[in-house]
Structure 1
C-alpha cells in the first residue's frame, strides 16, 4: 500500500548512508549524537534490515529497521521481526510515510519467513492502527531500603560476589543466565547478536547520569552462578544522612532461593535509601517475596506489542492450555491474506492445527486483538467486555482459557 507523496520512494539503506539514517532518528527523538557511545557500542541493527523513505530530492525523510529475533511463546518459539528505530523527520509528518514504512516492514518480514512482528511503542496510540496489539505489561518498583522479604529455604547458604562489570568476561555469562532464568516465560526474547549482548553490559560514562560504573552481583552455590544483577548506585546525602539510589538494570535468577538471596543483597546496601527495579513481569517473584508492597512505588506500563503476519503459522507455533475447537473470524486491513475464518483445533497435548473454514464463527476479532492474546497475557473475555472481541460469553471464556499462559509474558529489554 503506497501512500507516499509524488517523487518519494522506499529504499534499502546502504552502509555509506548509515549516518544519515541515524540523523533522521536523532531529529525524530530529539537526541544528540554521542561519539563516545558510538565508539564503545557498535550500531545494533543489522545493516541489511535498514529501510528508508527517500524524499524527491534524495534525502531521507523517514527510516526504520528490524531485528531478527526468536520470541518465546507458550510452549514454543517463533521467528519474530523486531521493529525498531521507526522515525519520521518532524518536517515530513502527516504525509503517509509511516503507513508505507509499516507496510514495507510487514511485507519484507513475510518474505523472510517471519510470521510475527513485535515492538516497543514510544507512543502507545500509534501502532494499534497497524494491527499491533498490546500483548504484555511490565511493572517497575521503587522499594525502600531494608524492605522485608518472606523467608525462602536454602537462601541463607548461598553467597554473593560483587565486582565491576567487565564486558570481556561477563557478557556471555549475563546472557546465558538471562535465557535460562526466563525459560517458559512468553516474550522473554534472547539478545540475538553479539552487538545486542554488548549493549546489555555496555556502560558509556556519558550515559551514567551521575551513577557509578556498572556493577555485577552474582549469587553462588559453591562455584555455580544461580542469579545475577547488573546495577549501579548514585550517591546522595540529605539532611538525615545517606540517600543513595540503587538502579538495577537487569536481574536474573534460576530458582526461588537464589531470587531471595539476590534481592536480599540489593535491598540492603549501605548508604542507600531506595532500590529501582528493572522492568518486571506482573507476576515476578519479587512481588510475592515482599512482605509489604504498600510502601513501594509501582508503575505499570505496556511492554511488548505483537502483530501476527501469518495467522495460521503464528497460531500453530505455540501450544495451548487444553483441547479446543473454535472458529475465529479475523479482520486485517493491511494483510488481507489473514482475513477470514480460521478453525483452531487443539489436541489434548496442546498442539494446534489451523485451517481455513466456511463454518460459522464462534469469535470475531481484529488481528490487533489476536496479537494481544497471542502471548497468553490477555483475556478474550475482558476484551469482549470492552467491545473489541465479539462472541457469546461461553466462547470468549473458552478462548481465554485456551490462550492462557501460566506465566505472564514480558520482555525485560527494549528493542
Structure 2
C-alpha cells in the first residue's frame, strides 16, 4: 500500500474519475446524467479512497442524511455509499482501511452516531460491525387475482396521472407525512427527489418510461401518490404488460386503497411487481386472497452504531427497559464496554456502568436490533447474544422491538 495515497475527492473532475472507478468496479458503464444528478447532493469531502497517482483504485463515501428511529425522531445518519475496490487491487486490505478511516472520521466529527449501508454482497460488512437491521420485500402477483376484501373503503377521492413537475411540487409533503413514524426511512431533499424520479435509457432497460399518479381528497387536498413504470408486452393471445411499482405513499387508508385500485385496474396490465417495501405493507392485508400476492424477502439495510451510548439514547423503546449491556466491538474499540440503558416510550439515557452485565452483545448484533425489526430474543436463541440474567433477553427484546417494521430507505 506504500504506493497508494488515501485522500478525499478534490473537485468536479476528480469526482468524475472517482465515479468512473465506482462504475467500473460494479461492472457497469458510467451514466453521465446519473453522475451529474448525484453531484447535487454530494459533499466531496465525504468521498475518499486510495489513489495510485493515476487513478482511483478504491473508493468509499457517505451522504449526510436523516433517518427516522423508533419513536419518530429523525436524527443524522451517515449513509455509506460508493464502496469499491478495483479488481487488480483486491486482497490488499484497502476495504478494511477505508472502513476504519470512515468510522473514525464519523466519530471524530460527532454529528452522526449511526451509519447505514446497502451491501452488494451480504457477508462483507459484518466484520466491520454492521448488522442486518431490516429486510427488503418484493410483492408480485396477477392483477386479476388481486381483488380487495369486501368492505374496503376507497373513500371519495380521485386519482389522476400527472407530470414530474407537479409530482415534485406535491409529493414531498405526502411523503413526509406518510413515513413520519416508519423507522429506517430517510429524508428526501429536493435534489434527492429529482434523482429518485430521474429517467433515462438505463433505468428503462427493465421496463418503460417513468409515470406518476396523484390522489386528491374530495376537497382537493393531495393525499397519495404512485411512481411506476409499465413494461409493455403483447403475446399472440393478447396483452401481458407488467407494472413495476417504484413507490406508493398515502396519508390515510382510503387514499392508499384508492390509488392501489387505480394501479391494479389499469387496462392491458396483467401483473404487478413492487420492490422495496416492508413485511407489513398494508396491501398484503387488503387483498381477498393473500396467496395471490407473492412475498419474497431479501436483505435490506445494514446498521452500525458508531457511538453506542449516544445511539441507544436517541431512539425510543416500546416498553420500559433497564438493562446492562456488555458490548464487544473489535473494529471500533472505543465502543467496547459495559453500558446501562434505561428508557421507554418517552425517552432514554445510556451511560457507562460498572454493574454486572445482563446481556452480552456484539456491535454487529446491536446494529441488527437497533431499528426494531430484528428480535434480540431470536438472536439469543441463535447463540449470537449472551444472557447473563435469566429473562433479560426477552425483556430487552420487547423494549427494542417496534410496532411497525423498519422501512427501506432510498437506495444510495
User: Would you call these one fold, judging by a TM-score over 0.5?
Assistant: yes
Rounded to whole Å, the distance in 2 between the matches of 1:388 and 1:261 is 44
How far off its partner does 1:23 sit?
1.8
Counterpart residue number, 1:390:
386
Compute the displacement of 1:249 (Å). 0.9
Match of 2:115 among 107, 114, 117: 117
1: distance between equivalents of 2:409 and 2:264? 20
The alpha carbon displacement at 1:298 in A equals 2.3
- 1:155 equivalent in structure 2: 154
Once residues 158 and 42 of structure 2 are traced to their aligned partners in structure 1, the CA distance between those partners, rounded to angstroms, is 38
Q: Distance in 2 between matches of 1:240 and 1:234?
A: 17
Whether the 8 Å contact between 1:245 and 1:275 is mirrored in structure 2 is yes
1:8–1:53 Cα contact (<8 Å) kept:
yes
Asked whether the equivalents of residues 8 and 44 of structure 2 are also in contact (C-alpha less than 8 Å), the reply is no
Which residue number in structure 2 is paired with residue 137 of structure 1? 135
Could you say what secondary structure the match of 2:182 adopts?
coil
SS in 1 for 2:112: coil
Post-superposition Cα deviations, 1:180-239, rounded to whole Å, max 9, x if no partner, equal 111111001112x43222111111234212633221111111211111101121211123
Q: Retained in 2: the 8 A contact 1:152–1:260?
A: no
* RMSD between superposed Cα atoms in Å: 1.8
C-alpha distance in 1, partners of 2:363/2:36?
41
SS at match of 2:284: helix
Preserved CA contact (<8 Å) 2:63 2:79 = yes
The runs of at least 4 consecutive aligned structure 1 residues that moved more than 6 Å come to: none
User: 1:40–1:204: 8 Å Cα contact kept in structure 2?
Assistant: no
Tell whether 2:401 aligns with 1:413: no
Contact 1:381-1:393 within 8 A present in 2 as well: no
* Per-residue deviation, 1:46: 2.2
C-alpha deviation, 1:122, in angstroms: 1.0
Instruction: Quote the Cα distance in structure 1 between the aligned partners of 2:168 and 2:310.
Output: 34
Q: Which residue of 1 aligns with 2:348?
A: 352
CA distance in 1, matches of 2:311, 2:299: 22
Q: Given that residues 137 and 281 in structure 1 are in contact (C-alpha distance below 8 angstroms), is that contact kept between their aligned partners in structure 2?
A: yes
The match for 1:259 among 246, 256, 259 is 256
- For the Cα contact (< 8 Å) 2:284–2:293, is it kept in 1? no
Aligned 8 A contact 1:77 1:318 in 2: no
Alpha carbons of structure 1 residues 176 and 156: separation in structure 2 relative to 1, 3 Å: closer
Equivalent in the alignment of 2:321: 324
Match of 1:28 in 2: 25
User: Does 2:398 match 1:401?
Assistant: yes
Using structure 2 for the length normalisation, give the TM-score: 0.94
Task: Give a deviation string over 1:36-81, Cα, whole Å, max 9, x none.
Answer: 54466646532221111123x4532101111101111011232100
Where in structure 2 are the equivalents of 1:78-93 lying within 5 Å? 78-93=75-90
Distance 1:122 1:334 in 2: 21
CA–CA distance in 1 between the matches of 2:378 and 2:368?
12
Residues 80, 117 of structure 1: 8 Å contact kept: yes
Residues 64 and 84 of structure 1 are in contact (CA less than 8 Å); yes or no, is this contact kept in structure 2? yes
Range with greater deviation from structure 2 (79-88 or 253-262): 253-262
* Residues 179 and 185, structure 2, Cα contact 8 Å, conserved in 1: yes
2:238 alignment counterpart = 241
Q: Does 1:335 align with 2:335?
A: no
Question: How high is the TM-score relative to the length of structure 1?
Answer: 0.93
**Kept in 2: contact 1:135–1:372 (CA 8 A):** yes
Cα distance, 1:152 vs. partner? Answer: 5.3
Q: Distance in 2 between matches of 1:207 and 1:84?
A: 19
Secondary structure of 1:197 counterpart: helix
Q: Could you tell which deviates more after superposition, 360-369 or 391-400?
A: 391-400
Distance of 2:119 and 2:224 partners within structure 1? 30
Output the CA distance in 2 between the equivalents of 1:319 and 1:40.
35
1:232 maps to 2:232 = no
1:295 deviation in Å?
A: 2.7
Is structure 2 residue 215 aligned with structure 1 residue 219?
yes
